Chains A and B, each alone.
Chain A
């Protein structure tokens, strides 16, 4: 067994909240280890529309959230401009929309400190030419686009540079309690295939929609409501900035341009489990039909894929253990956040949970929980996350044209591995050198495979580069491809074909409900490449790490174990199953 680790604070959950907590602790000089069951951002933080809220969406109904949003919108623009596309947003009033709501909207924005500018239909069309001709009125607000993976990477890198640790593919499998205290957290190292213990003084549960399950492991009841939202990805941007319907939030009322696609959102449905991320075709149709009221050309546009995420909604008044009413609309639950001190709440001395909230407010959420924790720990360093700029911020806001400008500057056309997303051979080579062995991780890091062709060409090119990275040298002909030898004890090289097949099947999950028209043709052409020309049949030999992850060993309470073991193993799914990225950290 790997030697046990020791730290002051274990942070559970590798979404934006957990990583923001880790960074906040690091900046106050506290040592902490973050554990995440898959890769960073594989939960809700990676399954959303990418809206940097101005707060205007909450201005009428939930002004506490609205104020949090505009504050953090301003802060994030300062500390993480490189993760943000400064594109602004519009709220548009269509015929049939309630004009009284527009009045309440402007008042609510004023009361919440959100600047608005009223635009005539002509001015709105100058700004967004594809808007429906019948738009009656529009309000400009400081919405933006934010790349959560970029934000996660920056915050994690900053925390790691300051001595904290990130353990991905380390699901928490139990906690060791003695009396009212947690002494250690047990995690499963999914790559090595063994459990590890992390001794700690404090635990912060930042597991978002899964906070209830972490609570169960620790023996404290937390009632989360899983609020599923379905989103549809269109093959082009359509709009320069965010476009919202100026009405009470409802299905299909927002279009967020992100990189070279647009994301239509969203539904809001209470489901029994945050792992329910299924996408009914009827939801896809509704998103398209509703958003096409604002931008009519969406109706005949090309849909790339659809996906769902689970909002981390917390309902304080819900009875312990109750799970509310599945199937209801969850928009009525406040989007603000809550710090739970389990000492006063449940008699568990050294654990906090941070629940609710949203990506835009992740830094503020972290500050709120770390302020409370620091007070209990006797740490007097103030929070510095609102003023310390993140690494990578020195070039200002992200601009859509940047990747193309880079390729043109470097004359790197022939170096492109993924033409849709302008990913170059050098970027893939660097990621492989950094230890990434899974195409899924390359996708999250580089956006490889996101574009209109849905990985028809880039996936096998990248698989070839992974193969070159793992080739064991043999005595062979001269002029052999030079390949780095794998480190001693690294085990058998992963089969890049099996990794490619996993990647293709994972991508396929998001496409099933959006196959018609051009996407039908694209899917069959991709099938003709991978199955027809390359004769792949989904029978790639899984590498050892994947095999181990497919069947995580159950953790049994040890006989005669002096510590009390609470909880059960978390359920996994097929997301992001393998990587050796955690190695060596």
Chain B
């Protein structure tokens, strides 16, 4: 096998990098073990939600307050803007328009009734909560509790009340997941049957908060249609995995990559590289029966941190980068991995590979180790995507950077 650029990993960073490189004319192979944080996220674009635990109002300005070595410092504010601009254009063209302003964070309502700071929101999640807010579940959907959500919203001073919308007769009356419900809502006939009950449930409210299940494969159109049938603004709350907004985004990436002719290998974990001096010549991946070597000019690692499986945490406190054996700073023992409070901060979340300004992995002295390997997204050291609320921002900014860097090193 042979490719110009191999991108390893299909999370937010790998998908954006592969798309941008293909748009720039590179011949790309995307190699992935499985799905990434599109499926596990809140369905928004977090750029920088908190610094030192405090909510951030102006994410781009707050970058200055981040510690040295943070990926944002390496790529610069311009790359962050570039990443967000590109993403806004890409999603709008794919029927997944996002709203928001990189200069100012906004809040996203969650299934718990908390208001999480984020930057860009897909339109169905972007409505304002004002006046009386009905928090509505579709009867029988087990992953959303209007009572729980409304209780927290009321603590935040929002006049929220729980409600339930009856389900019309359908195939899944005993067993359905959010994905099945979302797929059903793709169908216009189903929406017409669903709307009257939903309208009764939200009667008297100015806005309705619903689980993020309003359509799967038709962009934001099912949401817009249902909203007009009901006659009340519908706001999708951040709901537990799998993230349906994330699935919509994943599908949009996949369609775009296929249109760009990107080859796509799913279920093939990368397990090693072949090297010639300071260059990687091939990536080895595990197939059903054998290890396959794919030769490449450039390698982009978007394998994630420990959470994404790019790094393995060992029993003795050391850490292992899974594809190229890149150095990752470990801990004295494994008790150092995590904090005492589960809901607190965990040092392991910020573990990663150190890179230079061109995103090449570096040694302890800061010298590049491999000339044609770039690291993007969660794999990078120096940021904690969850507690900072920076996952998608870092992914898009480093994808922007990798596209710029590789534009300067054209395919041979």
Between A414, A417, A470, A483, the greatest number of chain B beta carbons within 10 A of the residue's beta carbon is seen for: A414
List the B side residues contacting A496 at CB < 8 Å.
Answer: 148, 151
Residues 299 to 314 of chain B near chain A (Cβ within 8 Å): 305-307, 309, 312-314
List the A side residues contacting B146 at CB < 8 Å.
Answer: 481
Partner of B110, one of A470, A495, A504, A534: A534
Q: Are B174 and A517 in contact (CB under 8 A)?
A: no
State whether the Cβ of B114 lies closer than 8 Å to any Cβ in chain A.
yes
Q: Are A497 and B204 in contact (CB under 8 A)?
A: no
Q: Are A523 and B163 in contact (CB under 8 A)?
A: no
Q: Are A479 and B145 in contact (CB under 8 A)?
A: no
Q: Are A520 and B142 in contact (CB under 8 A)?
A: no
Q: Binary interface profile of A, 515-542, with partner B (CB < 8 Å = 1, else 0)?
A: 1110011011111111111111110010
CA gap between A525 and B391 in the complex, in Å = 13
Between B145, B165, B197, B314, the greatest number of chain A beta carbons within 10 A of the residue's beta carbon is seen for: B145
List the B side residues contacting A581 at CB < 8 Å.
Answer: none
Q: Are A527 and B151 in contact (CB under 8 A)?
A: no
List the A side residues contacting B235 at CB < 8 Å.
Answer: none
Q: Are B147 and A479 in contact (CB under 8 A)?
A: no
CA gap between A515 and B137 in the complex, in Å = 36
Q: Which bracket fits the contact residues of A?
A: 35 or more
Say whether, besides A481-B146, A524-B348, A533-B42, A515 and B161 are in contact (CB < 8 Å).
no
List the A side residues contacting B309 at CB < 8 Å.
Answer: 521
Q: Are A517 and B349 in contact (CB under 8 A)?
A: no
Partner of B386, one of A413, A415, A513, A532: A532
List the A side residues contacting B201 at CB < 8 Å.
Answer: 477-479
Interface 9-mer from A161-169, A188-196, A461-469: A461-469
State whether the Cβ of A285 lies closer than 8 Å to any Cβ in chain B.
yes
Residues 74 to 104 of chain A near chain B (Cβ within 8 Å): none
| Minimum CB–CB distance for B347 against chain A, Å | 11
Q: Are B163 and A521 in contact (CB under 8 A)?
A: no
CA gap between A481 and B342 in the complex, in Å = 32
Q: Are B112 and A534 in contact (CB under 8 A)?
A: yes
Q: Binary interface profile of B, 162-178, with partner A (CB < 8 Å = 1, else 0)?
A: 11111000001011100
Between A285, A476, A535, A537, the greatest number of chain B beta carbons within 10 A of the residue's beta carbon is seen for: A535
Q: Are B41 and A463 in contact (CB under 8 A)?
A: no
Partner of B343, one of A504, A516, A520, A533: A504
CA gap between A530 and B343 in the complex, in Å = 8
Partner of B155, one of A413, A521, A531, A541: A541
Residue of B nearest to A507 (CB): B342
CA gap between A416 and B114 in the complex, in Å = 25
State whether the Cβ of B353 lies closer than 8 Å to any Cβ in chain A.
no
Number of B interface residues in the complex (CB < 8 A): 74
Q: Are B112 and A535 in contact (CB under 8 A)?
A: yes
State whether the Cβ of B338 lies closer than 8 Å to any Cβ in chain A.
yes
List the B side residues contacting A516 at CB < 8 Å.
Answer: 313-315, 334, 337
Q: Binary interface profile of B, 330-358, with partner A (CB < 8 Å = 1, else 0)?
A: 00011101101111101011000000000
Say whether, besides A281-B334, A536-B114, A505 and B341 are in contact (CB < 8 Å).
yes
| Minimum CB–CB distance for B277 against chain A, Å | 33
A-B interface contact total, Cβ < 8 Å: 199
Residue of A nearest to B40 (CB): A528
State whether the Cβ of A36 lies closer than 8 Å to any Cβ in chain B.
no
Q: Are B386 and A471 in contact (CB under 8 A)?
A: no
Q: Are A515 and B163 in contact (CB under 8 A)?
A: no
Residue of A nearest to B166 (CB): A479
| Minimum CB–CB distance for A306 against chain B, Å | 12
List the B side residues contacting A477 at CB < 8 Å.
Answer: 134, 161, 163, 200-205
CA gap between A535 and B40 in the complex, in Å = 14
List the B side residues contacting A508 at CB < 8 Å.
Answer: 341-342
State whether the Cβ of B144 lies closer than 8 Å to any Cβ in chain A.
yes
Q: Are A521 and B306 in contact (CB under 8 A)?
A: yes
CA gap between A471 and B146 in the complex, in Å = 10
State whether the Cβ of B30 lies closer than 8 Å to any Cβ in chain A.
no
Partner of B307, one of A476, A501, A525: A525
Say whether, besides A417-B142, A467-B147, A496-B151, A476 and B315 are in contact (CB < 8 Å).
no
State whether the Cβ of A425 lies closer than 8 Å to any Cβ in chain B.
yes
List the B side residues contacting A495 at CB < 8 Å.
Answer: 151
Q: Are B314 and A460 in contact (CB under 8 A)?
A: no
A-B contact pairs, 17 of them (CB 8 A): A414-B172, A457-B143, A477-B202, A479-B163, A479-B201, A480-B164, A507-B342, A513-B335, A521-B306, A523-B338, A524-B349, A524-B386, A528-B307, A534-B114, A534-B116, A534-B238, A536-B114
Q: Which residue numbers of B lie inside 8 Å of A, CB to CB?
A: 37, 40-42, 53, 110-112, 114-116, 132, 134, 137, 140, 142-148, 150-152, 155, 161-166, 172, 174-176, 197, 200-205, 238-241, 243, 305-307, 309, 312-315, 333-335, 337-338, 340-344, 346, 348-349, 385-387, 389, 391
Those 8 A-B pairs whose CB atoms lie nearest each other, nearest first: A464-B145, A414-B175, A476-B161, A524-B307, A508-B342, A535-B116, A467-B148, A520-B313
